[in-house]
Amino acid sequence: MHAFRTRDLLVTALAPLIWGSTYLVTTEFLPAGIPFTAAFVRVLPAGLLLIALSRRAPARGEWAKTVLLGVLNIGLFQAMLFVAAYRLPGGLAATLSATQTLMVLFLTWLIGKTMPPKAAWAWAAAGVAGIALMVLSPQAAFDGLGIAAALTGAASMSLGVYLSKHWRIKLPALAFTGWQLLFGGLFILPFTLALETAPATLTAKNIGGFVYLSLFGAVFAHALFFRGITKLPPAVASSLGLLSPVCAFILGWLFLSQGIDMKSLFGFLLSLLSIFGIQRSLRAG
């Protein structure tokens, strides 16, 4: 029996809702063609801020684990997220990222030697189908590098979520988040320096986009999500990630004049229903 409180579920759900604005902010506010720079600026300053506020460091035997979690949950994931955001239509990137819950269920079976309920697998697959119906366009461009980046990011975050739960690093949520953001940013830094050139000028719009992604998308959202990992089963926490493309879909309709038809509306409802179904099946499992 996986017992967890509805309050923890709702608080954790705020994180993917905030992350759902990443695509809109990236495409509308940030300079073009700098995915690694965008990821680096988003996470490293946020990590330094949280470490300064928390003033806590990992225990002697937890440094290696914290570094690895920072790479999996932040560094590799964020880098691949921005590569996918720049190279793929938002709908395709969101559909591929929605496979995270299936990956976490697979890791639960492969590493944890526990077979999740069949209903959880079915609802996780339904969530991917719902996202595809909601946002995937028949005209989507299938860029190979972008697809590989989206799937790599999903796999990285899935493993990070699973290990974060089972390693139980003894740090307060803010410190745990801050150190992961720091190590994730340091992981991204060499790729940023080697592959990209910083924009010659930044507009107020660009700066506002970076500040939003760092303060809200990194500091606030990641702190809520990593707190949630300690309270929720990994697959439940991962399933809340479906709220990110749902939020992106709504923002696209509100601000980018993206239309809604019966297919996308059905996908929207199926995505929300799948989140509820995964939680219900794991509570009973």
Burial class (CB in 10 A: 0-12, 13-18, 19+), 95: buried
Split at pLDDT 50, 70, 90, the class of 142 is: confident
- pLDDT per residue over 172-199, tens digit each? 989 999 999 999 999 999 989 998 998 8
Split at pLDDT 50, 70, 90, the class of 138 is: low
| Residues constituting the chain | 285
Residue spans per domain, the chain:
6-284
Other beta carbons within 10 angstroms of residue 272's beta carbon come to 15
Cα separation, 88 vs 142, in Å, equals: 7
Contacts from 118-126 at CB under 8 Å and sequence distance 24+? Answer: 119/277, 119/280, 119/281, 119/285, 120/235, 120/278, 120/281, 120/282, 120/285, 122/277, 123/239, 123/274, 123/277, 123/278, 123/281, 124/235, 124/239, 124/274, 124/278, 126/270, 126/273, 126/274, 126/277
- pLDDT per residue over 193-213, tens digit each? 998 998 889 999 999 999 999
pLDDT above 90: percentage of residues in the chain: 55
